[in-house]
């Protein structure tokens, strides 16, 4: 039996959430990306302590949805799988870029743009920025990974002009110290400018440390 595999482009309704408003007092706009098995609505709650008159948070949701616990119940989202991965990367990068441009098209120069990716969302940020080269000031990789299959030679100057961070919990079961050391070696090998920071916690956005991080780094 001869089986032929085909691909076709289709339109799809995508989703995102916002917290705060873009106004004359806005100091910072955040584009935040959830981890595997989360939703934009629940993830954006991590940033609800920010002053909505000074911060606008845009939480973008992965295009793939599934039942978190089997065949029914809460619905969660994912950014990609290994199947047809290049197609999925292209699709979500186009979606993210569209949302990004919607909010930054006429953004005043003094407003800081922060990209924040948690876990799977961190790799998503890296794949998007190295394909679309958006304008931003800070890139926060929180308990995620830096994809090793990207050609950083083509985007090193672009990334070096930004402030990048890798934040992880010392009790993160997905990031034991040897894995962190491996990432540190990779960053050094590729000559990427990434500041490593850690907190006492697990695989989570630990809000108390996030508050401290923002007060010291996001200026």
In whole angstroms, what is the distance from residue 141 CA to residue 68 CA? 24
Per residue in 65-95, pLDDT (tens digit) is 878 888 888 889 999 888 888 889 889 999 9
What is the rounded distance in angstroms from the CA atom of residue 158 to the CA atom of residue 133?
8
The model's pLDDT over 22-42, given as tens digits with 9 standing for 90+, comes to: 999 999 999 999 999 999 999
Q: Are 132 and 166 in contact (CB under 8 A)?
A: no
Cβ atoms of 73 and 67 within 8 Å: the answer is yes
CATH 3.40.1160.10 fits 16-164, yes or no: no
Q: Is the pTM of this model over 0.85?
A: yes
CA 83 to chain centre: 21
Residue ranges per structural domain of the chain: 16-164
Residue 167: count of CB within 10 angstroms of its CB: 23
């Amino acid at each position: 039996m001869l089986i032929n595999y085909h691909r076709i482009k289709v339109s799809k309704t995508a989703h995102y959430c916002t917290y705060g408003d873009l106004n004359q007092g806005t100091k910072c706009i955040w584009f935040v990306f959830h981890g595997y098995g989360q939703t934009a609505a629940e993830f954006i709650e991590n940033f609800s302590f920010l002053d909505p008159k000074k911060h606008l948070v845009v939480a973008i949701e992965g295009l793939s949805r599934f039942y978190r616990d089997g065949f029914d119940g809460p619905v969660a989202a994912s950014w990609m799988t290994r199947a047809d991965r290049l197609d999925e990367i292209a699709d979500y990068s186009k979606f993210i870029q569209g949302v990004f441009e919607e909010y930054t098209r006429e953004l005043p120069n003094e407003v800081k743009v922060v990209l924040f990716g948690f876990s799977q969302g961190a790799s998503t940020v890296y794949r998007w920025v190295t394909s679309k080269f958006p304008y931003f000031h800070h890139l926060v990789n929180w308990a995620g990974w830096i994809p090793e299959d990207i050609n950083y030679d083509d985007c090193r100057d672009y990334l070096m002009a930004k402030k990048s961070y890798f934040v992880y919990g010392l009790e993160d079961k997905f990031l034991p110290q040897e894995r962190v050391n491996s990432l540190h070696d990779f960053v050094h090998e590729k000559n990427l400018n990434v500041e490593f920071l850690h907190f006492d916690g697990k695989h989570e956005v630990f809000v108390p440390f996030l508050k401290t991080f923002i007060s010291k780094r996001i200026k």
